[in-house]
Amino acid sequence: MRGSLRIGAGAISALAGLIALTAVFWSSGAPLWIGWRVYPEQVLIVALALAMTLAYLTRPSGPPALSWLAAGLSLAFGGWLAVRFPTLSENVFYHPTEALIVSAVGCVLLIEAVRRTMGWSLIVILGAVCAYALFSSNFSGPLQSRSIAPDRLLTFLILDSASLAGAALTIAVAVVVPFLILSQLLLATGGSAFFSDLSLALAGRRRGGAGKIAILGSAFFGSVSGSAVSNVASTGAITIPMMQDGGYRPKTAAAIEAAASTGGQLMPPIMGAAAFLLAENLQASYVDVMLAALIPSVLYYFSLFTFADLEAGRLNIAPVPENRIPPMARVMRRGWFVFAPFVVLLAGLFAFNLRPETAALVATLVLLGLSLIQTYDNRRVSLRVLVDVMISAGKAAVEIVLICAIAGMIIGLVARSGLSFGMGFFLVQLGQSSLLLLLAVTAAVCIVMGMGLPTVGVYLLLASLAAPPLVELGLQPMAAHLFVLYFGMLSMLTPPVAIAAFVAANMAKAPPMATGFEAVRIGWPAYLIPFFFAASPALLMDGTAWQIVATAVLALAGVYAITAAIVGHLRGALALPTRATLAVAGVAILWPIDAWQHALWLNLAGLALAAACLQFPARRPA
């Protein structure tokens, strides 16, 4: 038994490492260097087959022999299709039996791998879209289309380049995996400990230092990892007990960690996997996506920081004890090298116009070279450490690869079947009566769908269905896609299925549902700001310098006022009427100056109203 477990663990590590190596092989342009003419789909299919095999081995279901059989079939499917793809894709009509068998086997194996990895949500959506494609001729009105025969449907899902091995899987393998390798190498060289100590040194001596440390640490680490749940699990183990010891209530400590970790998915410079998909969908550079996301993410984290500060003032939470705060000079002396890959990454993107995956690989090589000289914890980076980095990156990529594969099938079939036209027609009709109503419906759908899907899956589906009608009704493409992405992300915080909040609640021994609602209260800007940047391109760095600066400054003031009203504390405890007035003033200040002809007067009125609120005496606490 032990021998079989060892063999299983070795196989899992080898498969995970091969996923990472396959991605590096393709992203680095190695096939061109060695003169190997290969279809991109062939490489993507190999990576997908490895991910499917790994899913069967790491998430057993039923008899062990069945999992091993499915794993073997996944490898056989990937190897066969990778070799035969050029023939089958170009001459499928001459090989109908082979194409049908390969497609049927691949479809069943992928669906079961996805079920084991993340449940039924995406599978149910794929089934619904397939049912529409099979019977679309029976519908009436805009939803009526030509039905697709079952055999044609099956071969389309697996063999068509607009489906399984489409843009979504390309981004997952070629772009996301190199960034995962960079993040895993940062962790292996002590990056997590560096970010924690840097946050301590920066904010530990201030009021509510424990909460501010958690926010800074999660922002730093979340920008690297791009995953809310893994961020909570890693940094939360340190920050949640620290906040509880400092005086924050358990549910508040867990909610702060969950909100800060979730925002990392949209925090430049690395952001999450969905940001790369957004750039691909818009045919825009990743630099444009980073710049557009900058002001909203700054507003979000400014609000979290303000909440931690004012909540500490309300509860009289003291700074972190001096003996727990490392000297800044020592932290920087030991960890300066951690900034090097970020500098290289940004220089590659902005100065040399490198593709994101190329910039990530160069940044990884720079970090690797520096880590041979110095690491934050003085641990020597050996070949074993590098192998572990590749294995960890491969394991982290499994879920993203599988999600992007099946989401690509759904997106391709939505376009092929005509469903995108029919749904777009209905949404445009809704938006013509009220664009605000369409935005609200889109936000609600994103959050509801996200309760069973990760952010990447929600964005991929809604970007093909909900974003085009928003663009057709006048929204800028970047605003429409970021709107969908933001509300897909918010499913991590929003009850009843708030995964990031529930993980943090478990670590803090707090009630899960209460923690979820507390996370919504703390992360409120993410629910409101997307509506404002949908109306104001300046919040997405699109406009004159004056418009961008003025809009950002006013937004910071508005966010501060609303957060103070939510906490109920400013210079002291605020009475309920004052809180309500301050919240109204904050919304008026936050209203973008280019969203309405007389918005500037509304901003000035909000500033005057907020200033008046400061004149009211603080309510004495009971």
Point out the domain boundary residue: 341, 373, 401. 401
pLDDT of 4 higher than 70 = no
- Find, among 562, 555, 519, the residue nearest to 540 by Cα: 555
Lowest mean pLDDT among 12-26, 198-212, 222-236, 604-618: 222-236
> Is there a contact between 304 and 255 (Cβ–Cβ < 8 Å)?
no
Whether 483 is in a domain gets the answer no
Pairwise CA distance, residues 575 & 580, whole Å: 9
Whether 35 is in a domain gets the answer no
The answer to whether the bond into 269 is cis (omega within 30° of 0) is: yes
Q: How many domains does the chain have?
A: 2
Pairwise CA distance, residues 156 & 146, whole Å: 15
Q: Which helix (DSSP H) or strand (DSSP E) does residue 42 occupy? A: helix 40-58
Lowest mean pLDDT among 92-96, 126-130, 320-324, 398-402: 320-324
| pLDDT for the residue 618 | 56
Measured torsion, CA atoms of residues 594, 599, 605, 609, in degrees rounded to the nearest 10: -70
pLDDT of 574 higher than 80 = yes
> Is there a contact between 81 and 102 (Cβ–Cβ < 8 Å)?
yes
Residue 446 CB: number of other CB atoms within 10 A?
A: 27
Pairwise CA distance, residues 163 & 79, whole Å: 19
| pLDDT for the residue 520 | 93
Report the largest interatomic distance among the alpha carbons of the chain, rounded to a whole angstrom.
83
Whether 556 is in a domain gets the answer yes
| pLDDT for the residue 515 | 92
Three-point CA angle 590, 227, 504, nearest 5°: 85
Confidence of residue 452 (pLDDT cuts 50, 70, 90): low
pLDDT of 617 higher than 60 = no
The count of C-alpha atoms lying within 13 angstroms of the C-alpha of 593, restricted to the half-sphere facing its C-beta, is 18
Confidence of residue 127 (pLDDT cuts 50, 70, 90): very high
> Is there a contact between 583 and 561 (Cβ–Cβ < 8 Å)?
yes
**What is the residue type of 5?**
L
Three-point CA angle 64, 18, 112, nearest 5°: 40
Confidence of residue 222 (pLDDT cuts 50, 70, 90): low
Whether 616 is in a domain gets the answer yes
Pairwise CA distance, residues 370 & 381, whole Å: 10
| pLDDT for the residue 225 | 61
pLDDT of 209 higher than 90 = no
Segment 301-312 shows an average pLDDT of: 92
Question: Which residue stretches of 286-418 are H helix?
Answer: 286-315, 328-335, 339-350, 356-371, 383-417
- Find, among 503, 399, 396, 502, the residue nearest to 456 by Cα: 399
Segment 379-406 shows an average pLDDT of: 90
Pairwise CA distance, residues 592 & 352, whole Å: 34
The overall pTM is greater than 0.75: yes
**Residue with more model confidence, 620 or 345:** 345
Find the length of the chain.
622
| pLDDT for the residue 622 | 45
Segment 400-414 shows an average pLDDT of: 91
Instruction: Mention every residue, 6+ apart, whose C-beta is less than 8 A from residue 346.
Output: 269
Q: What percent of the chain has pLDDT over 90?
A: 40
Pairwise CA distance, residues 117 & 123, whole Å: 11
- Find, among 521, 524, 621, the residue nearest to 575 by Cα: 621
| pLDDT for the residue 583 | 93
Reading the block at residue 122, the tokens are 């995406």
pLDDT digits (tens, 9 = 90+) for 540-560: 998 889 889 999 999 999 999
Q: What percent of the chain has pLDDT over 70?
A: 96
| Residue that is written with structure tokens 């090097």 in the block | 340
pLDDT of 620 higher than 60 = no
| β-sheet bridge partners, residue 569 | 573
Whether 149 is in a domain gets the answer no
Whether 511 is in a domain gets the answer no
Point out the domain boundary residue: 401, 419, 454. 401
Give the range of the structural domain holding residue 604, as residue numbers without chain letter. Answer: 543-622
pLDDT of 99 higher than 90 = yes
pLDDT of 1 higher than 80 = no
Q: Roughly what angle, to the nearest 10 degrees, separates helices 96-118 and 383-417?
A: 120
Whether 447 is in a domain gets the answer no
Confidence of residue 5 (pLDDT cuts 50, 70, 90): very low
74-108: buried (b, 16+ CB within 10 Å) or exposed (e) per residue? Answer: bbebbebbbebbeebbeebeeeeeebbebbebbbe
Instruction: Mention every residue, 6+ apart, whose C-beta is less than 8 A from residue 395.
Output: 12, 16, 54, 58
Pairwise CA distance, residues 501 & 33, whole Å: 47
Distances (CA, A) of 118 to 96, 165, 404, 561, 589: 32, 20, 12, 40, 42
Question: Which residue stretches of 523-544 are H helix?
Answer: 525-535
| pLDDT for the residue 2 | 42
Point out the domain boundary residue: 368, 401, 434. 401
Lowest mean pLDDT among 334-348, 392-406, 486-500: 486-500
Pairwise CA distance, residues 51 & 533, whole Å: 37
**What is the residue type of 527?**
Y
Confidence of residue 227 (pLDDT cuts 50, 70, 90): low
pLDDT of 619 higher than 70 = no
**Mean pLDDT over each residue of the chain, to the nearest integer:** 87
Confidence of residue 223 (pLDDT cuts 50, 70, 90): low
Reading the block at residue 136, the tokens are 């679309």
- Of 4-8, 78-82, 174-178, 612-616, which has the strongest mean pLDDT? 78-82
Whether 549 is in a domain gets the answer yes
| pLDDT for the residue 226 | 60
